[in-house]
Structure 1
Amino acid sequence: MHFASDNSGPVHPQVMAKMTEANQGYQMAYGADVLMNEVRDRIRGVFEAPGAAVYLVATGTAANSLALATLSQPWETVFCSPVAHIHEDECNAPEFYSGAKLTLVPGGDKMNPTALWSSILAEETRGVHGPQRGPVSITQVTERGSVYSLEELQALCAVAKEYDLPVHLDGARFANALVALNCSPAEMTWKAGVDVVSFGGTKNGLMGVEAVVFFDESKAWEFELRRKRGAHLFSKHRFLSAQMAAYLQDDLWLKLARQSNANCARLADGLRAKGASFLHEPQANMIFASFPRSKHKLLHYAGATYHLWGAELVGADENEALACRLVCDWSIGPDEIDRFLDLL
């Protein structure tokens, strides 16, 4: 009953097998391996973007931070949601790598075009004394489990383009959002106005690899330099390539995301039936739910692993409703979900 994070789940067996296969003999280092050529072509095909520049790094933080650094200057600001992953969970890495600051667009889980427009308009009002306008960064799936619709993405990108600002999509859970929307990768990125995407794999069955895809190839060389200078260019790069090659083969990435989302839907339906309330409507593979402390205690003592959200397990009021976050990955079995619900 492990619902703490999709980072905590196992690596898919096909990925492990591909890495073992890649471990035979010798391959050129630093991304010059044969598998990387295959990965690059496949990702370009997936995104319907034959001219895209494709790179691999080992972590989502590196993908987001290096991408944003490539899109911005140190005197600029990056516009994002107050609960964006780049703000909440990356220990100022985007600021460290780019030198830019983050401007938090007022609102809730999702940015809305009106608030974004107002935030952009408020900058460049103090001349040399204030930050200049920089990239817009969108988290998809959001940190509260919501998914931006294609229309919402298009509207945000349109605001950014009105001010000639580039758009970055943090796609750590890209596949989960894609299958939830039932659209194409192109529709969720460059066709909507996105300039660069962090195409995540670690949360969806890989050991540790993320792709950075630039639809504007003019940024490619700068990214390569930043990746090397930032100590994120792997020498034995073939083990990154092997993971991504397995991920893309026979649409494994989509199969795993569909399974994660289906697991989440099963859990959400069960929680509703048990009377739990939801802080946000589950749309992909994350749930933010609330139920009594006594139930949380029972579940934790029975071995369930998940995070309470802004609350403590120990307290005097056993009936107090406590919020929690539950994340489903591809590997959680229906028996685990049903046992959790039975205990609840």
Structure 2
Amino acid sequence: MYFTSDNAAGVPPEVLAALAEANGGYTKGYGAEDLSLTVEARLREVLEAPEARVFLVATGTAANALALACLCPPWGTVLCHPQAHIAEDECGAPEFFTHGAKLVHCAGAHGRIAPEALAQAIAATGQSVHNTQRGALSLTNVTEAGTVYSAAQTAQLAGMARSAGIPVHLDGARFANAVVATGASPADLTWRAGVDALSFGGTKNGLMGVEAVVIFDPARAWEFELRRKRGGHLLSKGRYLAAQMAAMLEGNRWLDWAAQANAMSARLAEGLVARGIALRHPVEANILFPLWPVGTSARLRAGGAMFYDMPAPAGQEGARLVTSWATTEADVDLFLALI
């Protein structure tokens, strides 16, 4: 009953097998070997973006920060939700790799940026030499509240940004879960909606540690290559990153693993609601935020459950529950029995 994070789950056997297979013999380094080229071709196919460039890095923080550095100058602003991962959980990495860009928060309910908040933020930037200038918009799908942006919602916000000359980054650490949840195509959730750069998640979907940065405009690709190397995120033995990503992208595994996580989250949400537990946000992917009576958390932990506490109103306890590719019906049902 491990619901702290999808990062806490192990690695599917197919990924370990792919790593073992990739380990044999000698090959080129720095992502120039056939396996990395195969991953790039496969992601272009998945995203229906034949001109896109694909770069592998080991962490989501590197993916987000390096991508934003290619989109936003040091004197620019990165517009994002107050609870975005880049705002709360990356230790200033976006500011560091952009060499000083300012993160400006655009509020909105349930983790999604409200169009009116984005409009206000855009209008407040770039008014004179004394202000930070327009830089980039960063969206997160799945959001930190566990909700998703539909293709139409993404296109609306991205359209507002691009009309103001602002490029768009999408933090897709849980992009597979968003694709499954919305039923939209990966292309419709990204470049067709106006996204310029995508952080395509792997680690939270079961991989040992790899993310892909997809640059839809190849003219920006050389800058990313330089920033990745200069920032210390170009791995010499790139085949071990590529092997993981290739295993996930084989067939529909990447969507199947995300579908399992989403399904277990839905099962958990249904059971909690049936027991009178309120949920702080709509459950649309694989993250839940329940509010339950005082004493519930201790009882659950005494029964073996693991999860993170969250702030809650007086007289209640809050928690965050995250399901993964490895979560089973038995895990969910035992947790619910403890409620």
Q: Structure 1, residues 36-58: CA drift from partner, whole Å, max 9, x if none?
A: 11101100000001100100000
Alignment of 1:46 with 2:46, yes or no, is yes
Amino acid at match of 1:65: A
Provide the secondary structure at the position in 2 that maps to 1:165: coil
* 8 Å Cα contact 2:291-2:316 kept in structure 1: yes
**Residue 123 (structure 2) aligned to one of 121, 124, 133:** 121
The question of 1:55 aligning with 2:55 is answered: yes
Deviations 1:100-123 (A, max 9, x none): 110111333211222101111111
Q: Which amino acid in the other structure matches residue 131 of structure 2?
A: G
Question: How large is the Cα RMSD of the aligned pairs?
Answer: 1.1
Structure 2 residue aligned with 1:326, among 306, 317, 321? 321
Q: What amino acid maps onto 2:125 in structure 1?
A: E
Match of 1:103, SS state, is strand
Q: Following the alignment from structure 1 to structure 2, what is the Cα–Cα distance between the partners of residues 137 and 336?
A: 34
Secondary structure at the counterpart of residue 184 of structure 1: coil
| Distance in structure 1 (CA, Å) of the matches to 2:173 and 2:107 | 23
What secondary structure sits across from 1:7 in the alignment?
Answer: helix
For residues 13-24 of structure 1, what are the structure 2 equivalents within 5 Å? 13-24=13-24
Deviation string, structure 1 residues 171-203 (Cα, Å, up to 9, x no partner)? 000000000001110000000000110000100
Map 1:89-238 to 2 at 5 A.
Answer: 89-99=89-99, 100-108=101-109, 109-125=111-127, 127-238=128-239
CA distance in 1, matches of 2:26, 2:80: 43
The structural deviation recorded for 1:293 is 2.1
Offset, 1:334: 0.9
Q: Which amino acid aligns with 2:300?
A: L
Consecutive unaligned residues of structure 1, counting only runs of 5 or more, are: none
Question: What SS does structure 2 have at the residue aligned with 1:128?
Answer: coil
Structure-2 residue corresponding to 1:253: 254
TM superposition score normalised by structure 2: 0.98
The answer on 1:11 being equivalent to 2:11 is yes
The whole-number CA distance in structure 2 between the counterparts of 1:211 and 1:107 is 28
Kindly indicate whether residue 337 of structure 2 is the aligned counterpart of residue 339 of structure 1: no
Name the SS for the 1:175 alignment partner.
helix
Cα deviation 1:282-338 (Å, max 9, x = unaligned): 1000000011122211111111100110269xxxx9xx3111100000101111110
SS in 2 for 1:322: strand
Aligned position for 1:67? 67
SS in 2 for 1:44: helix
Q: Match for 1:232: what amino acid?
A: H
Quote the Cα distance in structure 1 between the aligned partners of 2:166 and 2:291: 39
Secondary structure, aligned partner of 1:27: coil
For 1:13 and 1:138, the matched residues in 2 are separated by 32
Identity, in percent, stands at 53
Q: What is the alpha-carbon distance in structure 1 between the residues aligned to residue 203 and residue 108 of structure 2? A: 29
Equivalent residues, number: 337
Cα contact 2:296–2:317 (8 A) shared by 1 = no
CA deviations on 1:221-269 (whole Å, 9 max, x unpaired) are 0000000000000011100000000010011100000000001011111
Secondary structure in 2 matching 1:331:
coil
Q: Which runs of 5+ in 2 are unaligned?
A: none
Partner of 2:85: 85
C-alpha distance in structure 2 between counterparts of 1:165 and 1:219, whole Å: 15
The amino acid of 2:301's aligned partner reads H
**Any runs of at least 4 consecutive aligned residues in structure 1 with deviations exceeding 4 A, and if so which?**
none
Shift of 1:342: 0.5
Tell me the secondary structure at the aligned position of residue 191 of structure 1.
Answer: helix
